């Protein structure tokens, strides 16, 4: 992902989570909020998921899923993807399927 496609600031995360819509899946919760510019993504993984190695792996896998399926997401939206603890030992294909099912229902 490019730098302009990433939500980094804490206030942006809070704004999207508190005022945006959300959809739940088996392994992810996706919050979204409309805005004027290009789509942006933020990924959050709780410390309950495991050590830094596990959390970083989940973020890398999620980023890869987002990168390969970017066209499925609406333009002019900010997305916050929260990874649930149930996603820790799940294979890539199941995680990708869960995200796509959430987005198609949007």
Interatomic CA distance for residues 93 and 89, integer angstroms = 12
How many domains would you assign to the chain?
1
Do 36 and 3 contact (CB within 8 A), yes or no? no
The whole-number pLDDT of residue 106 equals 59
- pLDDT, tens digit (0-9, with 9 covering 90-100), for 7-20: 889 999 999 999 99
Domain that holds residue 11: 3-104
Order the strands of the 21-24 sheet from edge to edge. Answer: 21-24, 28-34, 77-83, 40-45
Tell whether the model's pLDDT for residue 56 goes beyond 70: yes
The whole-number pLDDT of residue 58 equals 95
The three-state secondary structure class of 91 is coil
- Segment 61-80 shows an average pLDDT of 91
Task: Supply 48's token pair.
Answer: 């309950």
Do 77 and 35 contact (CB within 8 A), yes or no? yes
Query: CATH number for the domain including 45?
Result: 3.30.230.10
Task: Supply 37's token pair.
Answer: 């510019």
């Amino acid at each position: 992902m490019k730098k302009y496609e990433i939500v980094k600031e804490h206030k942006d995360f809070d704004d999207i989570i508190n005022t945006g819509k959300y959809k739940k899946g088996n392994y992810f919760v996706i919050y979204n909020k409309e805005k004027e510019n290009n789509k942006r993504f933020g990924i959050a993984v709780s410390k309950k998921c495991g050590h830094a190695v596990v959390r970083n792996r989940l973020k890398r896998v999620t980023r890869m899923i987002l990168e390969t399926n970017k066209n499925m997401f609406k333009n002019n939206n900010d997305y916050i993807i929260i990874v649930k603890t149930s996603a820790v030992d799940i294979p890539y294909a199941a995680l990708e399927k869960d995200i796509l099912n959430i987005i198609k229902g949007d």
